[in-house]
Amino acid sequence: MFHFDNSYARLPDRFYASVYPEPVEGPKLIRFNATLARQLGIEADMSDPDRVAATLSGNVVPQGAAPLAMAYAGHQFGNFVSQLGDGRAILLGEVIDDHGIRRDIQLKGAGPTPFSRRGDGRAALGPVLREYIVSEAMAALGIPATRALAAVATGEQVFRETVEQGAVFVRVAASHVRVGTFQFFAARGDNDGIRALADYVIERHYPELETAENPYAALLEAVAFRQADLIARWLGVGFIHGVMNTDNMTISGETIDFGPCAFLDEYHQMKVFSSIDQGGRYAYRNQPGIGQWNIARLAECLVPVIDPAQDRAVDAANEVLKAFGERFQAQWISVFRAKLGLKTQADGDGELVQRLLSVMQEAEADFTLVFRGLADAAEGRDERFLAQFADPSGAAEWLALWRERLAEEADGDAGRSAAMRAVNPAVIPRNHRIQEAISAANYGDFSFFERLLEALEKPFEERPQFADYMTPPTPEERVTRTFCGT
Ligand code: AMP
Ligand code: MG
């Protein structure tokens, strides 16, 4: 089924624990992502769905697999834990996709590992569906993210706050190396481990750095820039990751770990959904600052290998941290310029965006609908935009400023609204729709899950049959809290 080539398993023993998935009672395929499977060169004989389910749940370990749990550490909400590791995820192996990119195939919820601590090694159906929905939505929005290859029901119960149905999520990632993977070795003073890991990720994710003057300093900068770019993209679609611990930040620059994540409905820059984020550490607008904080933790790991002279290494790392801030600012303004339909750059653009955001915050306007409505306004139809504001006077004033700025654009108005619709989605995975899909699935009805996924496949199109996915929740439908569900 898979054409495995397992590079991580060839790293030194202390990088992982070899462990087989623990078979489950009654695996049943919930959904298989055939399009992604094709890109990964995976052949699944769908005339035998039981066999496919058995493989994707871990009951049958396919030929060529080298199942393992990766070791990592991490800062969780600012507190360092020197050993986390895959406690309920097992890397089956790696495949090379149709673009020549190496991708991990991982089973999440496949049973206990040496890193499980007191956890059961399992995943509940709800969080599995949530990860499936949001990671595929991110990909359709064009934002780097791990992908969903499949979801399989296990036929077993898992015990969380309540009894839930068990499931396995089959995750595809450019790799599962995290900031926390470096921290694992740094915490042990294992500089050889740091070097081996850095060499591995350079070869896998940043081969162009192999010839850099100082590849490890260059690696730090490259990872920092990918994260800065990623977080700017998140802010552009109103995404709140919710649990940006260093073990949930990839080295590849993909969004990973869709636990308590959520998209904004009404805009507020300090919005938090996650029930465990009481101090608002991972609030919407804190994400770039936290990204930089996490990169600082990566920098601490790399300092010993960047330069034997510590002061020189520290200077190099500090340069990168400063550059992170600048890179983020530049990416953020470019994301929002595009959302406003601006192709050129002018000095006041940042203030123009901020001003809109504060009018939105004041009015508790829907983030997605405001920008989508602005594309109509680019065609002279202001109603949809203005309708997002209970008192439209501030928004109308802002429109006047925006139009003054548009008048400076060299190319004129041609193509503007279409370009705006290509970056301002109409359909996002709104929390109440995810909740609806999960609740129905818990009763055996997967039709909401399927339909939501279909709506999210083309987020930039307004398809009438999916009009109900474009509207914000009613007061009764509002979801104010999201949960990790681990
Ligand atoms: P997460 O909150 O998913 O980022 O996980 C944080 C850490 O807890 C990781 O080391 C996970 O492997 C571990 N973990 C989470 N849920 C479980 C579980 N049900 N069983 C074992 N380990 C878990
Ligand atoms: Mg995690």
Note residues around ion ligand 2 (Cβ under 5 angstroms). 248, 257
Q: For the packed helices 179-186 and 191-205, what is the interaxial angle rounded to 10 degrees?
A: 160
User: What's the rounded Cα separation, in Å, for the pair 109 and 486?
Assistant: 10
Classify residue 264 by its DSSP letter: -
Q: What is the pLDDT of residue 485?
A: 63
Report whether residue 257 contacts ligand 1, using a CB cutoff of 6 Å: yes
Looking at the CA of residue 113, tell me the nearest atom of ligand 1: 21
Separation in Å, CA 275 to CA 160, 256, 359, 388, 457: 15, 19, 27, 28, 29
Residue nearest to atom 10 of ligand 1 (CA): 84
pLDDT at residue 303 in the model: 98
- Mean pLDDT within 171-189: 98
- What does the domain layout of the chain look like in residue ranges? 8-176, 180-338
Quick one: pLDDT at residue 130?
Answer: 98
Centre of ligand 2 from the C-alpha of residue 166, in Å: 18
Helix (H) or strand (E) holding 155: strand 147-159
Cβ neighbours, 10 Å, residue 466: 18
Q: What is the pLDDT of residue 56?
A: 98
- Structure-token pair, residue 46: 């769908």
Residues 6+ apart with CB under 8 A from 287: 231, 234, 235, 240, 241, 244
Q: Is the CB of 116 under 6 A from ligand 1?
A: yes
H or E stretch covering 239: strand 239-240
pLDDT, tens digit (0-9, with 9 covering 90-100), for 350-389: 999 999 999 999 999 999 999 999 999 999 999 999 999 9
Question: Would the pLDDT of 466 be above 70?
Answer: yes
The model's pLDDT over 40-83, given as tens digits with 9 standing for 90+, comes to 999 999 999 999 999 999 999 999 999 999 999 999 999 999 99
Question: Where is 18: in which H helix or E strand?
Answer: strand 16-18
What average pLDDT score do residues 11-30 get?
A: 98
- For residue 480, the model assigns a pLDDT of 85
Query: Is pLDDT at 313 greater than 90 in this prediction?
Result: yes
Any atom of ligand 1 within 6 Å of the Cβ of 121: yes
One-letter amino acid identity for 55? T
The reported pLDDT for the residue numbered 411 is 82
- 4, 74, 176, 244, 461 from 71: Cα distances, Å: 21, 11, 10, 18, 42
Alpha helices (H) along 307-379: 310-339, 349-363, 367-377
Q: Which pLDDT belongs to residue 486? A: 59
Lowest mean pLDDT among 212-221, 339-348, 408-417: 408-417
Q: What is the mean pLDDT of residues 252-271?
A: 97
Give the DSSP per-residue string, 311-328: HHHHHHHHHHHHHHHHHH
DSSP state, residue 164: E
Ligand 1 center from residue 123 Cα (angstroms): 9
Q: Which of 86, 104, 229, 247 is catalytic?
A: 247
Using CA atoms, how far residue 341 sits from 109, 206, 412, in Å, is 43, 33, 11
| Residue the block writes with tokens 């992170």 | 324
Global model pTM greater than 0.95 = yes
Check if 199 is active-site: no
For a mutational test of ligand 1's pocket, the pick from 70, 88, 482, i.e. the residue with the most ligand atoms closer than 8 A to its C-beta, is: 88
Nearest CA owner, ligand 1 atom 6: 84
Q: Using the predicted structure, report yes or no on whether residue 148 has a pLDDT greater than 70.
A: yes
Q: ∠ CA 178-35-126 to the nearest 5 degrees?
A: 60
